[in-house]
């Protein structure tokens, strides 16, 4: 039964689904991918900076990192939105999300680097390897293998945080669902489908991440 007074209408569900899928692919997924790249690279830079820089510089990096981690993502988005008014909201939101999660990934990298056995460091010294070679060929690859599960968890968390972009006027998938509900006075179908799309994408991401972990385990066995 497709009565508008019923709890669920398949007509409305089918009507909103294409817009939700398009917004997911063109906004939610793109922001997650680019934000993840920013977070992964910047997080590694932060971790290496804290470990290799002088004590005052390392302390300053830690202070800034903790400030970002301990303030809500929504507050950071709104602050940046009102300060950097000339930057397109979707670009600004992607950068802020990337920076926010970079601080968490930096801690993951730090733990992975600390977990590298001391014998590996001693071996690089015995082989007279250059510092750059030590990090790129020995330390970072081992740290990445041990931290991959935690890193992928943060990527999935970032993906689920993209609805916060609506506070800076970005029409991502949940906002698209709200707009449909407000126009057609049917919220249940749109919000439910948005949640199911998030669920399906999160499950797929988890499966792909697990396969990557197993592949890395196999190549290093």
- End-to-end CA separation in angstroms for the chain: 57
Cβ neighbours around 12 below 10 Å, total:
21
Q: What are phi and psi of 184, to 5 degrees?
A: -105, 0
User: What is the structure's pLDDT at 133?
Assistant: 75
User: What is the structure's pLDDT at 1?
Assistant: 42
Kindly calculate the radius of gyration of the chain based on its CA atoms and give it in whole angstroms: 21
User: What is the structure's pLDDT at 143?
Assistant: 77
Asked if 172 and 165 count as a contact pair (C-beta separation under 8 A), the reply is yes
The pLDDT tens digits along the chain (221 residues) read: 445 568 899 999 999 999 999 999 999 999 999 999 999 999 999 998 888 888 899 999 999 999 999 999 999 999 999 999 999 999 999 999 999 999 999 999 988 888 777 777 777 777 767 777 777 777 777 777 778 888 888 999 999 999 999 999 999 999 999 999 999 999 999 999 999 999 999 898 888 888 877 776 655 54
User: What is the structure's pLDDT at 90?
Assistant: 96
Q: Cα–Cα distance between 142 and 47 in angstroms, integer?
A: 15
Q: Cα–Cα distance between 183 and 19 in angstroms, integer?
A: 14
Helices (H), 25-139: 29-52, 55-69, 73-83, 89-114, 118-126, 131-133
Indicate the domain borders of the chain.
10-219
Q: Cα–Cα distance between 206 and 149 in angstroms, integer?
A: 9
At the top level of CATH, the class of 10-219 is mainly alpha
Confidence (pTM): 0.86
User: What is the structure's pLDDT at 181?
Assistant: 92
User: What is the structure's pLDDT at 24?
Assistant: 96
């Amino acid at each position: 039964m497709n009565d508008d007074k019923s709890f669920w209408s398949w007509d409305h569900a089918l009507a909103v689904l294409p817009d939700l899928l398009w917004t997911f692919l063109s906004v939610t997924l793109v922001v997650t991918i680019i934000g993840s790249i920013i977070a992964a690279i910047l997080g590694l830079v932060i971790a290496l900076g804290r470990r290799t820089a002088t004590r005052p510089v390392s302390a300053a990096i830690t202070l800034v990192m903790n400030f970002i981690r301990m303030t809500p993502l929504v507050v950071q988005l709104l602050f940046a939105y009102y300060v950097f008014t000339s930057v397109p909201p979707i670009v600004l939101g992607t950068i802020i999300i990337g920076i926010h999660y970079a601080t968490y990934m930096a801690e993951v990298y730090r733990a992975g680097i600390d977990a590298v056995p001391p014998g590996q460091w001693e071996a690089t010294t015995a082989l007279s390897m250059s510092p750059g070679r030590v990090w790129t060929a020995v330390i970072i690859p081992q740290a990445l293998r041990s931290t991959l599960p935690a890193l992928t968890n943060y990527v999935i968390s970032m993906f689920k945080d993209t609805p916060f972009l609506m506070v800076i006027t970005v029409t991502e998938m949940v906002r698209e669902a709200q707009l449909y509900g407000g126009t057609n006075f049917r919220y249940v179908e749109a919000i439910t489908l948005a949640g199911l799309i998030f669920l399906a994408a999160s499950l797929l991401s988890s499966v792909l991440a697990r396969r990557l972990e197993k592949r890395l385990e196999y190549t290093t066995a």
